[in-house]
Amino acid sequence: MRLTVIGTGYLGATHAACMAELGHEVVGVDVDAGKIAALRAGRAPFHEPGLSALLARHTASGRLRFTTAYEEAGAFGQVHFVCVGTPQRRDCDGADLSCVESAFAGIARHARKGALLVGKSTVPVGTAARLAEEHGAEIAWNPEFLREGFAVEDTLRPDRLVFGVRTGRAERLLRQVYGPVLAAGTPLVVTDFATAELAKTAANSFLATKISFINAMAEVCEAAGGDVRKLSEVLGCDGRIGRAYLRAGVGFGGGCLPKDIRAFAHRSAELGVDLGFLHAVDAINMRRRDRTVALARELCGGSVLGARVAVLGAAFKPDSDDVRDSPALNVAARLGLDGADVTVYDPEALDNARKAFPLLGYALSVPEALRGAELVLLLTEWPRFREIDPRWAAGLVSRPRIVDGRGVLDPDRWTAAGWRFCALGMS
């Protein structure tokens, strides 16, 4: 089939490359000429395992092209996927739909008769119905559930597919697009627009709630003298609860969960439904950052003023160079404002971190970050940080004190190597 993908961020670039991998001819569209130039050269404009290889393969084969022109995309595509961002509005918790609106307007103007316009962006419930009315085009909603760091895998082998459609024709076209994925046995739910839109926001709200639940238990463990890691292990053994998304720490960040739960609560309130618990989920999450800053202060004797602090991690999560709403950088910046001499190291996110927080110090390796540190904070759970040898690290720092903000280090090992070891969720 001939597909277009409008918006080439994390979602769109991955979707375009994966659709080419499935055998379709794909044109990716973006208003950002710099991004398009990188993609044309077969390069992902961000770190995402496996994506550059797919881009290189399919730009070379000619199955995948990129353009900044809607005219070209409109003339080409039978199905157009809209994959643009929906950031938080500046004036409230709601979602900013300006990119979605201009993408739909842009492609609707140039699309061939009978083309299907498919929204993939995360939007407030009711958006698809409104866009269908405004543009008079055939529309479907097909939310994605991809995680950064696993975007290619999650697109080619998703847990489920959701088609929000109003006609049998739209469903048939989408079944054709995802033919190989469906043939592999992927569960498909065909539903209305509203349910398809809600599928995404509800899933993200549930995940955020799970993380904040265990982080609230971490607060209780800190107050009562428990160990949240053991507690999480016990809870996770119950098949009804499950182990995933039950790791306590400095909390969730990134371009999705924080803004999606706020937008969902905001939209629900407009509809007269009080999802107040999502405000609590958000508040618990932000309190973990406060607690990490407070722990750093306590360990430095009440103030971090002038203290050399090494921060391991800048990305909002491992296997990503994304620093949007990163808990690690938020904590680092706050310690910097308190007068600490902060040095941040991250395996992939240093360039983005520097752009977002130019006043912090940065190191190009773990030893460079640790050298002379009076306090170490582990704030992104990159696997390589788990493998740091505490005896080796003790030889580099000036004072062996560490806060494990992600619950990934072995307390006994670090204590035995002479470290003062603190973790969130431990007394």
Q: Which residues are catalytic?
A: 256
First-to-last C-alpha distance (Å) of the chain:
58
Residue 323 Cβ vs ligand UDX, minimum distance, rounded to whole Å:
11
Helix extents (H) in 3-68: 10-21, 33-40, 51-61
* Interface stretch with ligand UDX, choices 63-71, 167-175, 177-185, 203-211 (CB under 6 A): 203-211
The two structure tokens encoding residue 204: 């993200």
Taking the least distance from each CB to ligand UDX, the nearer of 229 and 317 is 317
Q: Which of 108, 161, 177, 246 binds ligand UDX (CB under 6 A)?
A: 246
Nearer CB in complex with ligand UDX: 226/367 = 226
Known binding residue 109? Answer is no
Contact between 204 and ligand UDX per CB under 6 A: yes
Is 247 labeled as ligand-binding?
Answer: yes
Phi, psi of 350 (to 5 degrees): -60, -40
User: Which whole-number Å values give the CA distances from 117 to 27, 120, 139, 207, 357, in the listed order?
Assistant: 14, 10, 5, 29, 38
Does position 85 interact with ligand UDX (CB under 6 A)? The reply is no
Residue 179 marked as a ligand binder: no
Q: Does position 15 bind ligand UDX by CB under 6 A?
A: no
Helix/strand number for the chain, H first, E second: 19, 14
Least distance CB 146 / ligand UDX (angstroms) = 5
Name residues contacting ligand UDX, limited to 23-82 (CB under 6 A). Answer: none
324 annotated as belonging to a binding site for a ligand:
yes
Which residues fall within 8 angstroms of residue 403, CB to CB, at 6 or more apart? 292, 295, 296, 299, 375, 376, 377, 378, 422, 423, 424
Please give the backbone phi and psi of residue 189, each rounded to the nearest 5 degrees, phi first: -115, 120
Q: Rule CB under 6 A: is residue 207 a binding residue for ligand UDX?
A: yes
319 touches ligand UDX (CB under 6 A): no
Residue 88 carries which DSSP code? B
Contact between 266 and ligand UDX per CB under 6 A: no
353 counts as binding ligand UDX under rule CB under 6 A:
no
- Closest distance of CB 339 from ligand UDX, Å: 27
Can you say whether the dihedral through the CA atoms of 340, 345, 351, 356 is positive or negative?
negative
Q: Out of 245, 351, 372, 388, point to the residue binding ligand UDX (CB under 6 A).
A: 245
Check if the beta carbon of residue 350 is closer than 8 Å to that of residue 364.
Answer: yes
Q: How far is residue 131's CA from residue 335's CA, in Å, rounded to a whole number?
A: 45
Question: DSSP readout, 260-272?
Answer: HHHHHHHHHHHTT
Q: Does 407 bind ligand UDX (CB under 6 A)?
A: no
Q: 156 labelled as ligand-binding?
A: no
| Interface segment toward ligand UDX; rule CB under 6 A; list 24-32, 95-103, 145-153, 304-312 | 145-153
Q: Which residues are near ligand UDX by CB under 6 A?
A: 145-148, 204, 207, 211, 245-247, 249, 251-254, 256-257, 316-317
